[in-house]
Structure 1
Amino acid sequence: MQSTIDDAAGSPAAGSDTGSIEVHPLTVHIGAELRNVSLAEAARDDDLFAELKGLLLRHKVLFVRDQDITRAQHVALAERFGSLEDHPVAGSDPDHPGLVRIYKDLDSPAEHYENAYHCDATWRQAPPMGCVLRCVETPAVGGDTIWVNMAEAYRRLPQDVKARIDGLRARHSIEASFGANMPTEQRLALHERFPDAEHPVVRTHPETGEKVLFVNAFTTHFTNFHTPANVRFGFDYAPGGSELLNYLIRQAAVPEYQVRWRWTPNSFAIWDNRSTQHYAVQDYWPAVRKMERAGVVGDRTF
């Protein structure tokens, strides 16, 4: 199959009668809605999957509506990208390991937040390659998700900032995020199981070669900032280092790098976790929102 896109202006083609995927870009920098495609078929068709993956590398997040497929087919599609990983805090479907249930209902505390710009599981030594997320149930209004192109965020940084962060590394913590609301003993046990991971502040995408700004809500501090080149006096390091980190983390909130998706039941998002961040908008409680996510094991960032 071949995708159809209007080459002249970058606007989506009206489609064709050749059976090809219709690709409708949603913004200039990130996101495309796919039509005339079955994700169940993509899970078993090599050519169709190859086309889907190529579109993912290009648009960074893909959206598809009206996919009434089984959990097994959902898992089969995600496994085409690689092995699936479980989550140590969120629950999984007992019959489909790696299919994480993200269910927000009347039993979920109103203060249980999820609205922070983040790249999934960067507290792992090898963060996920990507995810395949399905909407099971969503509020009539609200509960959207925002994705951010962090390669574009890096590209648009001032040159002096790029020079300043070249070679910097940072720590990412599950203890300081998911563990923060746990009793001390449980939190420390979580840290023992998942020690803080260290990643480059600027990551090189292993397939596209793009440079990606790789700090997010899981990032706690730089690990190699306190050098004579950066620190003359104490305040250069603290709060100087944290102010620089906060500036970098805030880049995810720039609208020009974003796409926002309105969920409907049986709609899917497939995203490249190596080059994006996302933000689940928490504006719907006490309405019900139920999602199921298959996360794909990734590579070490080095």
Structure 2
Amino acid sequence: MSMTVRALTPTIGAVVEGLDLSQGVSADLAGALRAELLKHQVLFFEDQHLTPVQHRDFAARFGELHTHPLYPGVPEAPELFILDNHKDNPTDNDSWHTDVTFIETPPMGSILYAKSLPASGGDTIWANMKAAYEALSPSFRGYLEGLDAVHDFARGFPQRGIVANAAGAEKHAKAMAEHPPVLHPVVRTHPETGEDALFVNFGFTERLKGLRRKESDAILGMLFEHVTKPEFQVRFRWSPNAIAFWDNRITQHYAVNDYLPHRRIMNRATILGDRPYHHSRKPAQALAAE
């Protein structure tokens, strides 16, 4: 197989062509794909035909897999979970977020596979947090580098939210008990490239440690708006059996909610990563229960 990589924007995103992922991924190919992921932050593969087990095994070439505490798993490969959105189960992903930052070792990446798509709509947008960080003034970057932020499961999955209701009260309560708030640096150093990037997101970042609530809200509000600039983004129009593989350590994404009442079904594998840190100081410690 001869792999070619076509960049979609100067900042983020590339289409990988010439591969049939159902044939398996060798160590050499996995290494080549990891290198392209580090370069482009999100890779797209079109017209792939994977079973759930093949999807799981592809993701497992890049690390240990995370099992989500709320979303339903795929029966043949329970490490995967199902995002099945329609008029009776609208999406909860139509906000900018980085996956699963409510744990101490957030994912290094996620691999999303289109199983059933609406006739139009349902795109996903990714943004490069290194580019967003570098677009800030040097003095503000320096200030942010010394801050930690609280990431909270309850912010992303509130008790009366769509996902919590679908999962059931008992499952949600168990997940809440197992996922207390954690601290992560506001500016994260990428463990493979050494690049610094913003590491706060609307989905899970509740507040900045050590600041008054109004101060925290003002800074986070500015950052949440800043990261949505089109210059940092790539927008992917899904096609049947397409796959997206993104570096969760340096990106955010947004699922465009424009297709209801039609249905959209995606399967996702989530690959665990390292504890976030900034190079100037030690990794943040988990937030003690308050």
When the two structures are superposed, what TM-score results if normalisation uses the length of structure 2? Answer: 0.88
Distance in 2 separating the partners of 1:298 and 1:103: 26
* Residue aligning to 2:105: 126
Distance in 1 separating the partners of 2:17 and 2:86: 30
* Residue aligning to 1:22: 4
Q: Deviations over 1:179-227 (max 9, x none)?
A: 24258x76665432100111000000000101010000210101133xx
* Residue aligning to 2:123: 144
Is it true that 1:84 corresponds to 2:65 in the alignment?
Answer: yes
Aligned alpha-carbon RMSD (Å): 1.8
* Residue aligning to 1:293: 268
3-state SS of paired residue (1:120):
coil
Is it true that 1:222 corresponds to 2:197 in the alignment?
Answer: no
Distance in 2 separating the partners of 1:62 and 1:188: 35
Distance in 2 separating the partners of 1:130 and 1:219: 18
Question: 1:185-204 counterparts in 2 under 5 A?
Answer: 189-204=174-189
Q: Which runs of 5+ in 2 are unaligned?
A: 277-282, 284-290
3-state SS of paired residue (1:239):
helix
Letter in 2 for 1:159: P
Q: Which runs of 5+ in 1 are unaligned?
A: 1-18, 226-236
Contact 2:123 2:236 in 1 (8 A): yes
Question: 1:120-269 counterparts in 2 under 5 A?
Answer: 120-181=99-160, 189-217=174-202, 218-225=204-211, 237-269=212-244
* Residue aligning to 1:101: 82
Q: Quote how far apart the aligned CAs of 1:160 are.
A: 2.1
Match of 2:94 among 106, 111, 115: 115
Match of 1:44 among 25, 31, 45: 25
3-state SS of paired residue (1:250):
helix
Q: Quote how far apart the aligned CAs of 1:106 are.
A: 4.1
Q: Quote how far apart the aligned CAs of 1:105 are.
A: 2.7
User: Judging changes above 3 Å, is the alpha-carbon distance between structure 1 residues 189 and 71 closer, same or farther for their aligned structure 2 residues?
Assistant: closer
Query: Which structure dedicates a bigger proportion of its chain to strand?
Result: 2
User: Judging changes above 3 Å, is the alpha-carbon distance between structure 1 residues 151 and 221 closer, same or farther for their aligned structure 2 residues?
Assistant: same
* Residue aligning to 1:60: 41
* Residue aligning to 2:287: none
Which deviates further from its counterpart, 174-183 or 29-38? 174-183
Distance in 2 separating the partners of 1:283 and 1:79: 32
Is it true that 1:282 corresponds to 2:282 in the alignment?
Answer: no
Q: Deviations over 1:270-298 (max 9, x none)?
A: 01000000000001011010000000111
In the alignment of these two chains, the number of paired residues is 270
Larger radius of gyration: 1
Letter in 1 for 2:9: T
When the two structures are superposed, what TM-score results if normalisation uses the length of structure 1? Answer: 0.85
3-state SS of paired residue (2:274):
coil
Letter in 2 for 1:268: I
* Residue aligning to 2:279: none
